[in-house]
Chain A
Amino acid sequence: MEKICSVKDVKNEEIKLLAVQVIMSMMERIPKIFKDNLDLCKRFMEMTFFIMIETTENATMEWNCPKEGNNQFRLCLELYPFSR
């Protein structure tokens, strides 16, 4: 899984996310494996951060200043962005 996530030229990025999802699913089902091995947890977090960093894009003009009327859904996210 770590290898999948560290490959830079995987065309379909969702494969990386699926790899994270598979591990997450294992953690949900058999937490003991991870609770007993904190190094494994650390590596998993590193993997997640890696994907987050890799996919973070620079602020574009469109990001800075979204078009009027082109933000119907996005706005819902923005208006109350912090509630869980």
Chain B
Amino acid sequence: MSRVISFFSIGFQEDHFFDKDDEGRAKFGMNVIDQIIAIIGQKKILPIFSGMVQEMMGCSDWRFRFVGLMSLSQIGEHVTDVNDVAPIIELAIKFLNDNHPKIRYAACHLIGQIADDLQPSFQIKFHSQVLPALLNKYSEEVPRVLSHVLAATLNFVNGLPKDLLKGYIETILNATLPLVQKGISIVRENAVATFSAVAEAAEELYQPYFERSVPIIYEIMKTSDQPMYRKLRGLCIECITLMCESVGKDYFKKYANEIIELMIQIQKYDVVFDTKDPLIAYLCSGWQRICTVLDDEFVPYLQSVIPPLFKLVEHVLKHPSIPLEQDEEEISLSSMVEEKENIKKKKNTVDLEEVEVAMNMVFFFITKLKKSYIDFVEVTVKVVEIAIQFNYCEKVRTLAATCMPALIAVVKESTHPKKQELKISLSHAFIEALWKAVSTENDPEHMSLQLGFMGDILFACENFMTKDQVDKFSELILKSLKKSDLRKNENEKYKEEEGCDEEQVLERALESDKEDDLQFALARLIGLLFTTHKELALPLVSIISNEVIIKALQPGLSDKVHKCGLVIIGGMVQGLDIELIPNEWPKFAEYLLTYATDQTCSVRRTALQGIGTLSIKNKAAFSKLAESCAAKVLAALKLPKRNENIKEYLQTREICTLILGRIIRYSESKPNIEVLIAEWLTLLPIQVVSSEAIQQHELLADLILEGNGNVVFGQDGKRLPMVLKIFAIISETKFINEETTKKMRRILHSLKETKETKVMLETAVKPLEDFLKLKLDRIIENVLS
């Protein structure tokens, strides 16, 4: 969990445009300037802006210089070349020593903002000018300004590369240490935060300073128990846990018990439930860091940490009182009046980010601790069930949904005596909660996410529903598909209405695109229903075939819609015997073959996956299709890469390779065997779809050992060099198992047995690179020994 998030989590709300104080006004103005630059474009507006600021900087009235500096802080975001800010930084450093505290404050603000906007290039270019200038100001007399000097330092350190930070650690810590211990809280808090920034950025380089700084921060954490120091205390928790994370377990162990005990005490006795308490978010993030460092050694503390911690999470979820769901970034200036009211309310409530931090922590614990988490499943389910209904923020609902399959995985891995029953009851409860959540969700994007997690639950729990439950589940899917279709039709109608401008058309098109994603999520669910519940889902075949598959696989529809049809067929192939769907299968097979050569990689990949599944699940049906498959696969391999990412493209090619291997191995007719083997060997070894690699490589060894050596090696052993290269590449990797390694040894051994094949072997080895020759030698040596 990054420190930045935890800052946000405490309620960093800078855009309070209408604040009565002058700083609020300055921020309002700065936001306006920012918007103007963004809308008009930096090329046109920056020259005008610079001229005006220059004029202001020359005024005798300090207020003009203050506004000039504050406005300049907005331009970092719009600058592309870091060299362009050189004159601005010179100006800022000069004004760090101005007589007026507000000018010094604005100069710090300017440095801090640009450090944040242009990191790390700004830090790399200006560290030798900026850091000494800031450190010189640590003797600043006005606490407000000093606090801003520290804030600017921490922003600068945040983007400073580790190798450059190395030379400053000692100096920054020596200058900051006294400020941590004395002065008013506004200064101490930023001093602690600067410590955190250094510790986080320095990573293992912080080790020499760890022993010196931990006791100081620990002491503040222990003694700052008055309400006004909650923030300081929270920052100490953050600082000490960040230090521990940076230095690692060996260094941390010495202090682990004391720190953990103190955090438990704070969590138990000092967190205040009836007001917004910043400690909650700091504790949530802190525990995650400790868990990351200690790993299994954190397990003994869980009983003391988790139950009270989850009470806090429950409290945060139950008492959010947050009236808005809008992302800060999305707040438009045009809605400033409403924002003003919302933000005012926000100040007196628990922050939304705090809830997110809490839910992130829940998910972190589940996935990190795995089976060690089993004792806390019950308490977590309670929290997750509240979170899935959290109306104020879709991110929280999504995080809750993410936790559900993860909890089932915990149960699956555990040694709980009733784990099967527990797994089933959890799956039912989660599926019900997710359907409820989907039905109240407005945004198809979030519906898709939640349906995705529902699919993960189906996949994780496999066959857990009765016939009636499967029917009900299918009904809900079909209902959702129909609703989505209706919304899509509405979008299309709206687009054709008179007076609909370009922007609205685009908006509707995006909405329809989201509906396509939603329908794909629903199609995946149908596919998984067949995969997991097999014959129980059989009555669904004819409905789905007529209502969904045939409609979705018409030519001319979008790629996403095509994938919907294909993923369902894939699910049927996985879960059902083809013989059970004799009427539908010929049509489905035709669809798979047609789309196996689709121009869009993701579509042909989905189709090829269906064929690949068939080759494993039903060899007889696959064998019948082998000839057409071979032609399609060879054609698919010829398709060039388009917009898709390289990994997706390579994976698709590897799926083709897997299918070719199976055609060669299992097809009765062995169509064009010579061509297929030659192609197959050029594509091997499998190195992207690692789950299939072992099986495919074993298949190659088996083919040779079963008397097909001549076919595989080709006339005069022309393909032997290729085979040897494949053996050498996969040897000693995760792409091969012990069994296949033994088979490779046997093959090499038999090649050495006769004079003729020995010569062939030696000739084939020659062109190989040295490291590959060595790998082959190791296999052969083992044979000889």
List residues of A whose CB falls within 8 A of some B CB. 14, 17-18, 20-21, 24-25, 27-28, 31, 34-35, 38, 41-42, 44-46, 48-49, 51-53, 55-59, 63-66, 68-73, 75-84
Contact A49 B71 (CB under 8 A): yes
Selected A-B contacts with CB under 8 Å, 7 pairs: A46-B52, A49-B29, A52-B28, A64-B101, A78-B151, A79-B151, A79-B235
Contact A82 B155 (CB under 8 A): yes
Contact B40 A78 (CB under 8 A): no
Contact A84 B189 (CB under 8 A): no
List residues of B whose CB falls within 8 A of some A CB. 4, 7-8, 10-14, 17-18, 21-22, 25-26, 28-30, 32-33, 35-36, 39-41, 44-45, 48-49, 52, 56, 61, 63-64, 66-67, 70-71, 73, 77, 100-102, 109, 112-113, 115-117, 142-145, 147-148, 151-152, 155, 184-186, 189-190, 193, 226-229, 231, 235, 278, 329, 332-334, 336-337, 347
Contact A66 B12 (CB under 8 A): no
Contact B52 A49 (CB under 8 A): yes
In the complex, A63→B48 CA distance in Å?
Answer: 33
Additional A-B contact list (7), CB under 8 Å, known A68-B184, A79-B12, A80-B8: A17-B25, A34-B40, A55-B22, A55-B25, A75-B186, A79-B10, A83-B7
Chain A residues lying within 8 Å of B36, measured Cβ to Cβ, are 27, 41, 44-45
Q: A51 touches which one: B25, B45, B190 (CB < 8 A)? A: B25
Contact B112 A57 (CB under 8 A): no
Contacts A81-B109, A82-B109, A83-B116 known; A31 to B190 CB distance under 8 Å? no
B144 nearest in chain A by CB position = A64
In the complex, A77→B40 CA distance in Å?
Answer: 29
Contact B228 A76 (CB under 8 A): no
Contact B17 A17 (CB under 8 A): yes
Q: B101 touches which one: A27, A59, A79 (CB < 8 A)? A: A59
| Chain B nearest Cβ from A48, distance in angstroms | 5
Contact A73 B151 (CB under 8 A): no
Q: B63 touches which one: A56, A75, A80 (CB < 8 A)? A: A56
Chain B residues lying within 8 Å of A24, measured Cβ to Cβ, are 32, 35, 333-334
Contacts A52-B25, A56-B22, A65-B142 known; A28 to B14 CB distance under 8 Å? no
Contact A77 B14 (CB under 8 A): yes
B20 nearest in chain A by CB position = A13
| Chain A nearest Cβ from B357, distance in angstroms | 14
| Chain A nearest Cβ from B539, distance in angstroms | 54
- List the 5 closest A-B pairs by CB distance, nearest first: A69-B228, A52-B29, A55-B25, A82-B112, A25-B334
In the complex, A57→B21 CA distance in Å?
Answer: 8
Chain A residues lying within 8 Å of B21, measured Cβ to Cβ, are 57
Contact A77 B184 (CB under 8 A): no
In the complex, A56→B71 CA distance in Å?
Answer: 13
Chain B residues lying within 8 Å of A20, measured Cβ to Cβ, are 28, 32
Q: B185 touches which one: A18, A51, A71, A81 (CB < 8 A)? A: A71
Contact A76 B11 (CB under 8 A): yes
Contact A28 B332 (CB under 8 A): yes
| Chain A nearest Cβ from B550, distance in angstroms | 45
Q: B231 touches which one: A18, A31, A35, A75 (CB < 8 A)? A: A75
| Chain B nearest Cβ from A27, distance in angstroms | 5
Contacts A31-B39, A35-B44, A59-B102 known; A48 to B186 CB distance under 8 Å? no
Chain B residues lying within 8 Å of A72, measured Cβ to Cβ, are 231, 278
Chain B residues lying within 8 Å of A34, measured Cβ to Cβ, are 39-40
| Chain B nearest Cβ from A23, distance in angstroms | 9
Chain B residues lying within 8 Å of A71, measured Cβ to Cβ, are 185-186
In the complex, A42→B185 CA distance in Å?
Answer: 42
In the complex, A38→B44 CA distance in Å?
Answer: 8
Contact A64 B227 (CB under 8 A): no
In the complex, A31→B38 CA distance in Å?
Answer: 11
Contacts A31-B39, A65-B142 known; A79 to B45 CB distance under 8 Å? no
Contact B39 A27 (CB under 8 A): yes
Chain B residues lying within 8 Å of A51, measured Cβ to Cβ, are 25, 28-29
Contact B12 A59 (CB under 8 A): no
Contact A63 B39 (CB under 8 A): no
Chain A residues lying within 8 Å of B190, measured Cβ to Cβ, are 78-79
Chain B residues lying within 8 Å of A46, measured Cβ to Cβ, are 52
Q: B116 touches which one: A25, A57, A76, A82 (CB < 8 A)? A: A82
Contact A81 B14 (CB under 8 A): yes
Residue of A25, A44, A73, A81 contacting most chain B CB atoms (<10 Å) = A81
| Chain A nearest Cβ from B134, distance in angstroms | 13
Contacts A28-B35, A56-B63, A69-B227 known; A76 to B10 CB distance under 8 Å? yes
In the complex, A25→B112 CA distance in Å?
Answer: 29
Chain B residues lying within 8 Å of A35, measured Cβ to Cβ, are 40-41, 44
Residue of A63, A64, A72, A82 contacting most chain B CB atoms (<10 Å) = A82
Contact B151 A80 (CB under 8 A): yes
A62 nearest in chain B by CB position = B144
Chain A residues lying within 8 Å of B61, measured Cβ to Cβ, are 53
Chain B residues lying within 8 Å of A53, measured Cβ to Cβ, are 61, 63-64, 67
| Chain A nearest Cβ from B50, distance in angstroms | 11
A29 nearest in chain B by CB position = B334
In the complex, A31→B278 CA distance in Å?
Answer: 41
Chain A residues lying within 8 Å of B143, measured Cβ to Cβ, are 64-66
| Chain B nearest Cβ from A47, distance in angstroms | 9
Chain A residues lying within 8 Å of B329, measured Cβ to Cβ, are 84
Contacts A27-B36, A48-B33, A66-B186 known; A17 to B18 CB distance under 8 Å? yes
Contact B45 A41 (CB under 8 A): yes
Contact A77 B13 (CB under 8 A): yes
Q: B144 touches which one: A25, A42, A63, A80 (CB < 8 A)? A: A63
In the complex, A50→B49 CA distance in Å?
Answer: 14
A18 nearest in chain B by CB position = B337
In the complex, A13→B172 CA distance in Å?
Answer: 43
In the complex, A58→B152 CA distance in Å?
Answer: 22
In the complex, A44→B101 CA distance in Å?
Answer: 29
| Chain A nearest Cβ from B739, distance in angstroms | 55
Contact B115 A82 (CB under 8 A): yes
| Chain B nearest Cβ from A72, distance in angstroms | 7
Chain B residues lying within 8 Å of A69, measured Cβ to Cβ, are 185, 226-229
Chain B residues lying within 8 Å of A25, measured Cβ to Cβ, are 333-334
Contact B25 A56 (CB under 8 A): yes
A39 nearest in chain B by CB position = B48
Chain A residues lying within 8 Å of B193, measured Cβ to Cβ, are 79-80
B141 nearest in chain A by CB position = A64
| Chain A nearest Cβ from B142, distance in angstroms | 5
In the complex, A80→B151 CA distance in Å?
Answer: 7
B32 nearest in chain A by CB position = A48
| Chain B nearest Cβ from A12, distance in angstroms | 11
Contact A42 B11 (CB under 8 A): no
In the complex, A52→B72 CA distance in Å?
Answer: 13
Contact B347 A73 (CB under 8 A): yes
Chain A residues lying within 8 Å of B56, measured Cβ to Cβ, are 49
In the complex, A61→B430 CA distance in Å?
Answer: 57
Contact A65 B144 (CB under 8 A): yes
| Chain B nearest Cβ from A38, distance in angstroms | 6
Contact B18 A14 (CB under 8 A): yes
| Chain A nearest Cβ from B351, distance in angstroms | 9
Residue of B22, B66, B229 contacting most chain A CB atoms (<10 Å) = B22
Residue of B4, B48, B227 contacting most chain A CB atoms (<10 Å) = B48
A42 nearest in chain B by CB position = B48
Contact B32 A78 (CB under 8 A): no
| Chain A nearest Cβ from B708, distance in angstroms | 64
| Chain A nearest Cβ from B153, distance in angstroms | 11
